[in-house]
Amino acid sequence: MNQEFWFPVPWVRTDEPVGDRDRTAVPDVRRSQRLLGGEMNLKLLFSIAAMAFLAQSSAQATPIQYQGNIAVNGSAVTGFVSGFGWISDDAPNVDFWTFSGVAGESVLIRGTRLQFQLDPALTLYRGATTADNSAFVHDGSFGGITFLGIGDDELAPPGNRGPFGDPLLLIELPATGVYTIAFGGSDSDADPVGGLPYRLSVSVPAPGTIPLFAIALVGLGWTLRRKRIGRSGGIGPRI
């Protein structure tokens, strides 16, 4: 079946008579074509602009990248982080690691600076995330993972060199599953290109040693935090 398509077009009057009438209405076809072409070009421009915006947004959205998995009671892992990435919530300059744990199990997460200028700190979360880097916060939940605790200044640094202390977190796991560690720099003395080296391990201490660890951490952690308060002019530690 043949179909006719009709759309309204502007009409003009001619100056010369046609037939028995002085003036006859005829369509201005060229003007209609120009108007229709302009409308189509405008729609095309809008479409191109929308696609460019979506492409730019997609390019800017970068999910958090994990360095790998840590074996509990296995070998420690190593890496490089910036001097201030953790405290400034700068995810690209923080290292993210996972490990698997069992509900009710106490784990000891230890971070050690391998260059004295680094002031390392860590956060433990329940779960793993694919959130964008911009969602990261070192002191709260984000991206579907639950904040559990912070390790910061619990241990004296190797040789007592460098700013503040190293992180040691002793915690009883609330559930069986995957956990995330965010490890990075806090109030370091340097921030070189390429980062500062560290070592990180996760272990399950013998049950009889857990109370001793807890007592030691309370005393040493408070001493190092008092040093932080003095250095920062009265600003308390992040807990």
CATH value at residue 196: 2.60.120.1220
Q: Is residue 239 part of a domain?
A: no
pLDDT at 157: 87
Shared-domain flag, residues 152 and 213: yes
Q: Do the domain assignments include residue 6?
A: no
Q: Going by DSSP bridges, is the β-strand pair 196-203/177-185 parallel, antiparallel, or unpaired?
A: unpaired
Is 93 inside a domain boundary?
A: yes
Phi, psi of 61, deg, nearest 5: -80, 110
In a shared domain, residues 23 and 99: no
Task: Judge if 146 and 225 occupy the same domain.
Answer: yes
Q: Is 82 exposed, middle or buried (CB count within 10 Å of its CB: 0-12, 13-18, 19+)?
A: buried
Q: If you search the block for the tokens 């008092």, which residue do you land on?
A: 226
Residue 44's domain comprises 11-60
Asked whether residue 41 falls in the same domain as residue 116, the answer is no
Tens of pLDDT, residue by residue over 133-142, are 999 999 999 9
Q: Is residue 77 over pLDDT 60? A: yes
Q: Is the pLDDT of residue 119 over 60?
A: yes
Co-location of 164 and 130 in the same domain? yes
- When pLDDT is averaged across residues 122-140 and rounded to a whole number, the result is 97
20 pLDDT more than 80: no
Neighbours of 94 (CB within 10 A): 27
The pLDDT, as a whole number, for residue 223 is: 47
> What pLDDT digit, counting tens, does each position of 167-213 carry?
999 999 999 999 999 999 999 999 999 999 999 999 998 876 555 55
pLDDT of residue 230: 47
